[in-house]
Structure formats: structure tokens, C-alpha cells
Structure 1
Amino acid sequence: MTNKVAVIGAGLIGRAWAIVFARARTPVCLYDVSEPALAQARGAIRTSLEDLVSYGLVDDPDAVMACISIEPDLGRALGDVGYVQECGPEDVAAKREIYAAMEAVVSADTILASSTSGIAASRFTDHLRHPERCLVAHPVNPPYLIPLVEVVPTPATSADAVERTMALMTAVRQQPILVKREVQGFILNRLQGALLNEALRLFRDGYVSAEDLDKTVKYGLGLRWSFMGPLETIDLNAPAGVVDYARRYGPLYRDVDAQRDGSDPWEEQTLAALDAERRAILPSEGLAERQAWRDRRLMALMAHQQAANDA
């Protein structure tokens, strides 16, 4: 089986995946139905690599670029690859068409993985001749800075396809987790959604400002969560571990959970008020610059974590 991979879609996520694979010296072919997107991809990737070089996260951008090829023809892009990372629209009908087109040109054992943020792969692969080689490999944006990948098989996915995908993600320096059963939103977005739902309710009901709520995570929860998860956190936050923690604080959390009334925290009125506060802090014209700042901060954090792991 060839170690060459292909990425379908030359947008933000597709270009980021190309960096992930090429950084590990895995040959990667980038395809997109849009020729302008392909034309812009190489320059955008080079810019990202230059940022990574400045933080010591890439040492030879020319070698990385040499591993990336651009191909406007689907058959040529996928004809000799062992793994495909699809980064198409978050639309079931569109994905069903993309997967039928991919299956027509790949080998029978080529893995077809989707970057979808929350759609179960069984919804867009059940019409294929070989659904057993299809699954989700959901990254966090951008995957070359945040290494988590959620590997989510369908009921039809073979154990071999799961094992090969997990092995590939490990080989290209990502951190794969296995989602044992399909669930909408997978793990990361369900956890993120729970926090966002509660944050919006607290903001909507006048308990806290948007800025102070962000401070709560940035200077509180987020500091611990940047190097350990919530279950390890509670295991270490009581003298005798997780059961001791549950005895001490479980009643509080049960009471708080019972107070949630199930109302929709995503109503337009709430979002408009949130937008007004956020735009007062960061005008719309500053969003792109702040996004670049975010990525540089992530690079610095990643460099720090790598140094800590190597120590």
C-alpha cells in the first residue's frame, strides 16, 4: 500500500492538512474543483510555513513544499494514494456526491476519511460499494497547530481501516482519539457545545459580561486544560482522587445541572447583545489581525509544549 495521501479541498482546512502530512515528509496531493483555490494554495501554504519556521516548528520549508503536489484532475489526484482526507462542504448531499466520485477512482482498499465537524459518516457513505473503508478523521482548526484528531468509524467501518487511520495520524505527529460509536458532533464539539450553551445562558441572564466570561476560561479553566483534561483535573483536585472529589462537589454540580431549564441559548436577541459587546472590544475590521495573533500564540504554546515534552 502506498504511503501517498490526497486532500480533497484546498480551503483553509485542506491546506492545513497538506501541511500536516508534508511536514512529516508524507507525499500529499492537493485537489480542488476550484482552479482559483488551487492557484492560491501553494502561496498560502508557504506563508503558513514561514510562520512555523519563526517559532521553530518547521526547520526546512522547502522540503515540506516539495512533498506537496497540486492536481486539478480528481482521477490523477486519487489514483495512487492509500488515504484520502476529504474537506468538502458540511452538507450530506454534497458529501454523498463527493464520495461516489472518489470511490470511482481509488483503489478498493484506499481509506476515505472526512474532516466533517459533526456529521456521522454513515449518512454519506452507506450508498458506496466499499463503506467499510470510510470514516471520519475530524481535526481541530488549524490541525498543524492543534494536533487532536477524532477518528469516528461507522458501523460498517472495518477494524483495519480504523487501525491504519490511527497509525497514520500518529505517524504524522497528530494525537488521534477513537470515538467508539457515532454521535452527532463527536466528542470535542459536544464538550465545547456544553460550555458554550452554559456561557451564553449566563451572559443572557445578566450574570456576567462577555469579557469577564472569557477571562474565567482564559485565566482559570483554560490554564489547567492546556496540559490536562477535565477528568484528570478533578482526580487531582481532591486528596483521595476522583471519588473523593465527587463526594465533595457532586451535590453542587447536580444542583446546578437541575437549574438549567432547557431554553435555547442561541436566540437572536442573545447573539445580538453578545455581538455588541464583542465588537466594542474588537471591531469587525480587526478580526483577521486577531486571528493571526491567535495562531501565533498557538505556535508559541506548541513550541513550549514540545520543549517541555523533550525535557
Structure 2
Amino acid sequence: MPVSSQPETIAVIGVGVIGSSWVSLFLAAGLKVRANDPAPGAEERLRAFVANAWPALENLGQTKGLTLEAAQAALSFHARIEDAATGAQFVQENAPERLEIKRETYARLEAGLADDAIIASSTSGIMPSALQELMTRPERFLVGHPFNPPHLIPLVEVVPGKQTTEACVEAATAFYRAIGKTPIRLHKEVVGHVANRLQGAIWREAVYLAQQGVASVEDIDLAVSAGPGQRWAIMGPSMTFNLGGGRGGMAHFLEHLGPAVETWWADLGAPHLDEATQKMLADAFDRLDDAQFEKAIQHRDKALLRRLRALAEDAQD
């Protein structure tokens, strides 16, 4: 079955934080968006989110001169999933993380979609093969898992299920890349995909170090953000160590530091989120009131925006 390679109309199902962020990005790319969400007041919250996200998207050059008013006009809201699906060539689904709800959503989507439309799920934990199992056309389904917030963070993990065609994978990957995302393709289904497993592994060791009294939660966070995190925003851990090997590259690094790395691996902890550990982690942040929490979010997004612009400028040199 051929799939649509240049979608112009996108259906976004579920417009909570993730879905609204996706909508903002799609609108900035000049696409028409047909949204659906059963929650009361969802459309008003969605349009407010788009308005708040628009300055950052303009700052990044994503909007290419498109005005917020024109973007809002390209957004329509629909009470029924079937209506949102009508005319869409690509669907980004953000329904609750429950298998039965997502399967019901796909059944309703397929009732309104053209045969060549792709359905991508933002799921962070459910395997695509399980999600596509009851679909009429499972070959056009895959996972397109973003990192929050999708309109700012480039990564999207493209994960095919057992019945997904290669044409679908290629078309979805090309689409995400065309709207400014950085897609990676997974060749095997695995719980948590790639990025969540990596950040989960780092956090596991961070929790272990705090649990063992090696350093405070705050200082362990600083060890990441002021240390390797500075490099990880530019390149991944393997390239980091490759450069760490000097002109000899990875081979030189492994020859001289490989045994040391193995001792680090052997000594990594395996903490459990028992009551005491949960209290330790919660207590580290309980001093943030609502205003401070909002300020932290704004700091995160503004700093992220500055770094994204700097990286984009470097890429053009």
C-alpha cells in the first residue's frame, strides 16, 4: 500500500502537553491541523498553548514568516475522532497510555482516514506491534515518540511494529525531518525506546549515589548539568569518548581507559524507589512554590531555545 510522503493535513488526537506541542510545530511548518480531545475546554487550552509557543518557534526560524493568526486559522477542532481524521494524510496520536484506549482510537481513526494515511503514536512505553495488532491496515502504523516539549526538542524516535512496511517508516522519517525534527530509526522494539532508557540509566545511578550519601541530589544534578551534560547537548556519549581518545580516537580511548570504564560499570548501583528513597527525592524539591516552579520551567525553555539557536548557527558555518 502506498503511503502519503508529503502530508499537508495532520490529525492530532489528544492535545494535552505533548499533543499541543506537536500541534504548534505542525502549524509552524505551514500544515493544516485537525485536532481532537474529549476534555472540556481542550480547544481553548490548545489555542492558548500555540500562542505561548509561537514566539519561541519564530525565534528558531521555524515559522518562516507565518503569522500566529494564520496558524490559528489553519487549526480546526473536532468533537469526534472520525471527523478529525477526515482529510488527514498523517496522524499523531497522543491518547492515554492504555492499550485498550489506543486500540479503540485507531479503530475510530481508520473509519475516517484515507488508505494512504500514516498513523504515528507518541507512546513512550507500549510496543508498536501490540498497538497495531487489531488494526485494519496495521502496515501504516508506527511509533513516533517525541521528547518533551516536541516543538523545541528535535528528537523523535521512529519505531516500526512487526507489520509496519518499510515504505511507511521511510515516509514518516522523511516527514519528521522535513518539519525540522531529528528522527532516529529503531530496528528493534524495546521498552522505553532509546532515549528514555538512556536517561533512565543515568537517573538510576544519580538516585543510587544520593541514596548512598555520596552527594546531595542538588549536587548530583549539578555534576550532570555542569559537566558531561554540556557535551551531551552537542554530541552523544560514544562520540564524546571518541574525541577523548585524541587523534587515536575510540581505539586509543579503549586501550587506555577501557579497563577503568569497566570498573565503573561493575560498581554501578541498582536502587529501588522505596518509601525512604521517594521521600529523599521529594524533599530535595519540596521548597519550590508555584511561582518558583513556573520560573524553573521558563528557565529551562529559554535556555533550551538559546542552545538550539547556537547549535543551528554552528551547523551553518
TM over 0.5: yes
Letter in 2 for 1:273: M
Distance, in Å, in 2 between the alignment partners of 1:173 and 1:236 is: 27
Cα deviations by residue, 1:263-297 (Å, 9 ceiling, x for unpaired): 42x222112112212224x3465222311221122
Indicate which of 37, 43, 52 corresponds to 1:38: 43
Pairing 1:191-210 to 2, within 5 Å after superposition: 191-210=198-217
TM-score by length of 1: 0.93
Q: Distance in 2 between matches of 1:198 and 1:42?
A: 40
Query: Is the contact between residue 132 and residue 141 of structure 2 (CA under 8 Å) also seen in structure 1?
Result: yes
Q: 1:251 aligns with which of 255, 259, 273?
A: 259
Q: Give the root-mean-square deviation of aligned CA atoms.
A: 1.8
Confirm or deny that 1:104 pairs with 2:106. no
**2:34 aligned partner, one-letter code:** C
Structure 1 residues 300 and 237, CA gap change in structure 2 (3 angstroms): same
Matched, 1:222 2:235: no
Q: 2:28 aligns with which of 23, 28, 33?
A: 23
* Structure 1 position 218, deviation (Å): 0.9
> What is the deviation of 1:41?
1.2
**Which residue matches 1:159?**
166
1:295 matches 2:306: no
Measured against aligned partners, the alpha-carbon deviations of 1:24-55 in whole angstroms (never above 9, x if no partner) come to 11212111122411232112211221344467
| Distance 1:61-1:197 versus aligned 2 partners, 3 A rule | same
Please list every run of 5 or more consecutive structure 2 residues that lacks an aligned counterpart in the other structure. Answer: none
Structure-2 residue corresponding to 1:9:
14
Contact 1:5–1:26 (CA under 8 A) maintained in structure 2: yes
Aligned residue for 2:235, secondary structure, equals coil
Structure 1: unaligned runs, 5 residues or longer: none
The counterpart of 2:189, out of the listed 182, 185, 207, is 182
Q: Distance in 2 between matches of 1:310 and 1:65?
A: 31
CA change 1:99–1:55 in 2 (3 A) is closer
- After TM superposition, the score normalised by the length of structure 2 is 0.92
Amino acid at match of 1:46: A
Query: Where does residue 173 of structure 1 map in the other structure?
Result: 180
Q: Is the contact between residue 206 and residue 220 of structure 2 (CA under 8 Å) also seen in structure 1?
A: yes
After the TM superposition, which residues 257-268 of structure 1 pair with which residues of structure 2 at under 5 Å, given as runs? 257-260=265-268, 262-264=270-272, 266-268=273-275
Match of residue 220 from structure 2: 213
Structure 1 residue 14, shift from structure 2 partner: 0.8
Shift of 1:300: 1.7
Q: Is the 8 Å Cα contact of residues 204 and 271 (structure 2) preserved in structure 1? A: no
- Does structure 1 residue 132 correspond to structure 2 residue 134? no
Single out whichever of 122-131 and 137-146 deviates more from structure 2. 122-131
Report % sequence identity. Answer: 34
**1:35–1:72 Cα contact (<8 Å) kept:** no
